[in-house]
Amino acid sequence: MMSNEFQPVLGEPSDWLGDWHPLVEQLGSANGLVALSDIAASLRAAPVQNEETLRAFLADYHERILVPHELPAIQRAYYHTTRHEVRELCEYDRQLAEHAARQPFAEASRRVGQTELLKLRPLRDERIVRRYIEAVERKEAHAWHTLVYGLTLALYSMPLRQGLLGYGFQTTRGFIYAAAKPLRLSEKTCRTLLEELCADLPRAVELLIAERAAA
């Protein structure tokens, strides 16, 4: 059974992320990462044309991409970083390439990940940062955005649960608000949709962490 400690009120991220909110907002926002149409195409989902199709698309995204792929990738990168396992991190990066190559937003993931990784250059005294950057420069790694996110969380000693929740929340929020203007969604509708879609996110995160602990 989950502790109430990890069942935040999904109203505003600052309410439950506290001082970590600005970092997670910067790293986890989907704004500029991928277009709704790109992910919808990869999921073979109906085009996002109204509130109903947006809800269906995001539910599908949670079920088929966010929970089974993105959150585990963040978690694994986090643990490789805390253990200074740069070789294992680069190997996992290459393993993800086969799956990512089938996604129309793979290039966007690489672009954003490499941009964020280069922002860590001031931390080059951190061995894992230096070696990961060098591997990317030699084209031996790709710096997928999820891996760079997990790496950054670990470097800044952010608790993993909050980081995973923050990524899921901010990415979903980014998609909703990116669609809000063209679909003419009200602020109330956006907030309601966000809370509805993220209602099961704390449980998914807790199960992921529990699976890792039991392994």
pLDDT tens-digit profile of 128-157? 999 999 999 999 999 998 999 999 999 989
Which pLDDT does position 2 carry in this prediction? 39
- In the 8-state DSSP scheme, what is residue 43? T
Rounded Cα gap, residues 135 and 145, in angstroms:
15
Which pLDDT does position 40 carry in this prediction? 62
167 within 8 A of 74, measured Cβ to Cβ: yes
Q: Residue 39's closest CA among 60, 53, 55, 24?
A: 60
Which pLDDT does position 42 carry in this prediction? 61
Which pLDDT does position 68 carry in this prediction? 93
Q: Residue 168's closest CA among 61, 43, 82?
A: 61
Rounded Cα gap, residues 34 and 109, in angstroms:
8
Q: Structure pTM?
A: 0.84
Rounded Cα gap, residues 70 and 157, in angstroms:
20
The domain segmentation of the chain, as residue ranges, is 4-214
Which pLDDT does position 7 carry in this prediction? 42
pLDDT < 70 stretches in the chain:
1-46, 100-105, 124-125
Using alpha carbons only, give the angle 174, 178, 183 rounded to the nearest 5 degrees: 135
Place of tokens 């290459």: 94
Which pLDDT does position 126 carry in this prediction? 82
Q: Where are the alpha helices (DSSP H) in 13-159?
A: 13-17, 21-28, 36-42, 51-61, 71-82, 86-100, 106-118, 127-137, 145-155
Which pLDDT does position 99 carry in this prediction? 74
* Architecture of the structural domain at 4-214: Orthogonal Bundle (1.10)
145 within 8 A of 118, measured Cβ to Cβ: no
DSSP SS3 for 9: coil
| DSSP sequence for 69-94 | IIHHHHHHHHHHHHTT-HHHHHHHHH
Rounded Cα gap, residues 129 and 152, in angstroms:
9
Which pLDDT does position 5 carry in this prediction? 40
Which pLDDT does position 214 carry in this prediction? 84
Which pLDDT does position 109 carry in this prediction? 82
162 within 8 A of 114, measured Cβ to Cβ: no
